[in-house]
Amino acid sequence: MGKKKSIENTDAWNIADWEYSGMIAQDIMPLLSAPIVGQKRIDYLKEILKGCPEYYPALIELGYRYIKTGKDEIGKESIDKGLLSLKTHFSKKNLMGYMLPY
Burial class (CB in 10 A: 0-12, 13-18, 19+), 58: buried
29 occurs within a structural domain: yes
User: Domain range holding 66?
Assistant: 10-95
Check residue 89 and give its pLDDT. 87
Tens of pLDDT along the chain (102 residues) come to 445 568 888 999 999 999 999 999 999 888 778 899 999 999 999 999 999 999 999 999 999 999 999 999 999 999 999 999 998 988 776 665 554 444
101 occurs within a structural domain: no
Task: Give the span between the Cα atoms of 31 and 52, in whole angstroms.
Answer: 27
CATH of the domain at 59: 1.25.40
Alpha-carbon dihedral sign for residues 64, 56, 89, 91:
negative
61 occurs within a structural domain: yes
How many domains would you assign to the chain? 1
4 occurs within a structural domain: no
The model's pTM is 0.84
2 occurs within a structural domain: no
16 occurs within a structural domain: yes
Check residue 99 and give its pLDDT. 46
